[in-house]
Structure 1
Amino acid sequence: MTLMTRRTLLAGLAALPLSRPAHAALTQYELVSQGTSVDFTFDLSGLAQSGTMPIHSADIQIDLSDLINSQVSVTLNAAEARTKLPFARTAMLSAGVLDVQQFPTIHFASTEVRLGEGGRISRGAEITGDLTLRGVTHPITLQADLHRPPGSTADNLDMLSIRLTGSLNRHDFGASGYSDLVQDTVGLDIQAEIKKAE
């Protein structure tokens, strides 16, 4: 997968203004694979490492009139996770960490959207949801940014860019193997381009 460029995020127009009609509707969006990546970071023996994990499926529904009603459900293919160090990948997929033989996927389902400054999802917004990893489910909160592509008009919402960032403690999910080598915290950086479903 190709990383969405930093320029695309920074140049994105201000996020969508909100109104609250009595009967809001959810709009179905789908991922654009070329602009989507799920990256993670971890410390191995004191050295920063990184990896990627492909998305297996995603259900993205956005309420364009009232963003707090939006819903996201994403399944990651843990068995296809990659790191830059081959031996680190083997350990990561093993029974002591991700245990992909028994749990080949990781699932996130949003439960709450909290808007940022000015009722926007581009400044300090958060998405909380249930993360299921190794069959264990815990809530996790991610920082969220949603933008229109650079140059698009205010009423053109056919394409949107999303970035979600945060971290988790792997021990919360029982992924405690190699604790003498790998630190507890795993960083997450999810970047996606989405388009209205046809």
Structure 2
Amino acid sequence: MHRRHILALGLAAIAAPTWAAPTSYRLNGATSTITYTFTLEGTPLNGTVPIDRADLQIDPNNLEASTADVTADVRRARTGLIFATEALKSRSVLAADDFPLARFQSTKVTLGARGRISEGATIEGMLTLRGVTKPVRFDAQLFRAPGSAADDLSALRVILNGSINRADFDAVGYADLVDNTVAIEIDANIEATG
């Protein structure tokens, strides 16, 4: 899917009367993932965590009232290196055996300057990782399916980008090898349930 073929949603383009109330969306788990980027001895590496569950409510007439509650199973986290994957899930980093789920619950959506999600929207919320809950903020993008009509919001793609300080969540293991900042991208394909 090429970004140039995807039209960003804005408030002006989604005020269709058939979508007058908040709409529930279900996650397409097969095509949705969380990608994280960490730096190991100066080299950036990527890994993935599958999204386990998502409760998404999107109000096209009032995007700021939309909500997200997303859970990921950190026991299924992967990197391209087996030793890095095992270290990631160890007690000193994610403690996956003790805290198998990470959860993000949104608290605030802020639209861009002209009330458009395509002009710098952000989503704030609380991230729970290793049993520690801290506020986080993501840049947000919301797209219709390529070739869909302007008022067709039955299938959407949500992309969130941000970063966390792993020490904030007591995930301090291997500090001599791995940088403290971890970039996160959530890429979710969702479908309206009603």
* 1:140 corresponds to 2:170: no
Which of 46, 51, 54 lines up with 1:55 in the alignment? Answer: 51
* Letter paired with 2:11: P
Question: Can you list the C-alpha shifts for 1:54-89, whole angstroms capped at 9, x where unaligned?
Answer: 111110000111000000000000011000010001
* 1:89 corresponds to 2:85: yes
Going from structure 1 to structure 2, the CA distance change for 1:118 and 1:131 (only over 3 Å counts) comes to: same
SS in 1 for 2:31: strand
* Letter paired with 1:38: I
SS in 2 for 1:53: strand
SS in 1 for 2:11: coil
1:121 shift after superposition: 1.2
* Letter paired with 2:180: D
* 1:31 corresponds to 2:31: no
Which of 97, 103, 107 lines up with 2:99 in the alignment? Answer: 103
1:193 shift after superposition: 1.2
Structure 1 residues 31-180: aligned runs within 5 Å: 31-180=27-176
TM-score normalized with structure 1 length: 0.91
1:25 shift after superposition: 2.6
1:16 shift after superposition: 3.2
1:118 shift after superposition: 2.0
TM-score normalized with structure 2 length: 0.93
> How many angstroms apart in 2 are the aligned matches of 1:118 and 1:82?
39
Alpha-carbon RMSD across the aligned residues, in angstroms, is 1.5
- Unmatched runs of 5 consecutive residues or more in structure 2: none
1:161 shift after superposition: 1.1
Going from structure 1 to structure 2, the CA distance change for 1:140 and 1:87 (only over 3 Å counts) comes to: same
Count of residues in correspondence between the two structures: 189
> How many angstroms apart in 1 are the aligned matches of 2:178 and 2:80?
15
Range with greater deviation from structure 2 (64-73 or 30-39): 30-39
> How many angstroms apart in 2 are the aligned matches of 1:85 and 1:138?
28
Range with greater deviation from structure 2 (29-38 or 155-164): 29-38
Structure 1 residues 183-198: aligned runs within 5 Å: 183-198=179-194
Question: Can you list the C-alpha shifts for 1:126-176, whole angstroms capped at 9, x where unaligned?
Answer: 000000001100000000000111211111111111110010000000000
